[in-house]
C-alpha cells in the first residue's frame, strides 16, 4: 500500500465509520477499485486507522470518561455484549459474506429501512434527549439490533441509530449513543485484529501508516462534529436515499 492509497482509505474510514452508510462496505469497494489486495498488511493498516477513528470520538466525548458517567458505560457494555458474543461465534460464517454483491444489497435494504423509519418516526416530548437517561432495556435492544451490522454493508452506526429511534431516543441522542458504543466495539475488533496481525507491523511503510492515522483522526473528528450539527435540523432521509443509489450503482457495475 502506497501513501496515496493510505490517504484515500484513511479518509474513507474517518468519514464513513460513524455515519449510517457502512464503512466496511465503502472500504471493500474502494479496495476493489484501487486494486488493493486484501492481505494481512492491509488488515494491519485498517487496525491503525480504526484506532485513530476511535480516538477521535474519545476526544469529542472526553467529558463522558468520568466516574459520574459510570452507569452510562455499564449500559454501553451491555449493548456491546450481543454483538461480541454472536460475532465471535459466527466469525467464520461472516467472512463468507464479504463481497461487493452482498454489500450492494445491504446498502439498498438499509436505505429502504431508513426511509420507512423516518416516514413513521415522530419525535415526541418524552423522547430521550439526554444520553445518560437511556435505560438498560433500551441499551440492550440497541445492542441486539446492532447484531445486524455483522452483515457487510449494513452499517454498525446505521443499525444502532435505527435501534435508538425505535426505542424512543431522539436523533441526536441515538447518534451520540452509537458513537460511544463504537468505542468498546471497535476497541475489541481492533484489539483482536492486532493480536492476529501484529507480526505485519515489522514490514509496514511507517510513513503511510502515520499519515493514514492522522488523516483518519482528522476526518473522523470533523465528520462526527458536522453530523451532530446536521441532526439538529435534518433527518436521516438523505442517508437512506444515498444508500439506495450507491447500492444500485454497485449492482449495475
Q: What are the tens digits of pLDDT across the range 109-162?
A: 999 999 999 888 887 766 788 999 999 999 999 999 999 999 988 889 999 999
Cell 515489522 belongs to residue:
202
66-94, pLDDT tens digit by residue? 999 999 999 999 999 999 999 888 877 88
Question: Are 134 and 173 contacting, i.e. CB atoms less than 8 angstroms apart?
Answer: yes
Question: Are 115 and 240 contacting, i.e. CB atoms less than 8 angstroms apart?
Answer: yes
CA of residue 244 relative to chain centroid, distance: 18
Cell reading at 189 = 475488533
Cell reading at 245 = 443509489
pTM: 0.87
- Rounded CA-CA distance 4/198 in Å is 23
In Å, how far are 2, 15, 85, 133 from 170, measured between CA atoms? 42, 22, 28, 12
21-34, pLDDT tens digit by residue? 888 778 877 887 88
pLDDT of residue 200: 63
Question: Are 154 and 110 contacting, i.e. CB atoms less than 8 angstroms apart?
Answer: yes
Domain boundaries, the chain: 3-252
Question: Are 13 and 23 contacting, i.e. CB atoms less than 8 angstroms apart?
Answer: yes
Amino acid at each position: 500500500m502506497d501513501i496515496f492509497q493510505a490517504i484515500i482509505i484513511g479518509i474513507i474510514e474517518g468519514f464513513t465509520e460513524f455515519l449510517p452508510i457502512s464503512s466496511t462496505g465503502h472500504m471493500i469497494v474502494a479496495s476493489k477499485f484501487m486494486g488493493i489486495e486484501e492481505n494481512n498488511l492491509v488488515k494491519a493498516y485498517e487496525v491503525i486507522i480504526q484506532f485513530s477513528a476511535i480516538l477521535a470520538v474519545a476526544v469529542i466525548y472526553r467529558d463522558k470518561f468520568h466516574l459520574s458517567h459510570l452507569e452510562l458505560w455499564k449500559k454501553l457494555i451491555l449493548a456491546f455484549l450481543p454483538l461480541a458474543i454472536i460475532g465471535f461465534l459466527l466469525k467464520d460464517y461472516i467472512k463468507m459474506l464479504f463481497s461487493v454483491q452482498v454489500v450492494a444489497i445491504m446498502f439498498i435494504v438499509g436505505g429502504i429501512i431508513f426511509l420507512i423509519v423516518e416516514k413513521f418516526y415522530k419525535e415526541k416530548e418524552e423522547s430521550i434527549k439526554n444520553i445518560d437517561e437511556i435505560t438498560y432495556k433500551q441499551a440492550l435492544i440497541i445492542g441486539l439490533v446492532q447484531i445486524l451490522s455483522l452483515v457487510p454493508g449494513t452499517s454498525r452506526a446505521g443499525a444502532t441509530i435505527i435501534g435508538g429511534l425505535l426505542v424512543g431516543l431522539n436523533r441526536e441522542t441515538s447518534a451520540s449513543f452509537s458513537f460511544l458504543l463504537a468505542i468498546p466495539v471497535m476497541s475489541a475488533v481492533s484489539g483482536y485484529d492486532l493480536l492476529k496481525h501484529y507480526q505485519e507491523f515489522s514490514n509496514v511503510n511507517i510513513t503511510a501508516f502515520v499519515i493514514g492515522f492522522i488523516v483518519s483522526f482528522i476526518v473522523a473528528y470533523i465528520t462526527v462534529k458536522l453530523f451532530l450539527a446536521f441532526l439538529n435540523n435534518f433527518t436521516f432521509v438523505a442517508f437512506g436515499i444515498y444508500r439506495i443509489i450507491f447500492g444500485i450503482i454497485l449492482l449495475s457495475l
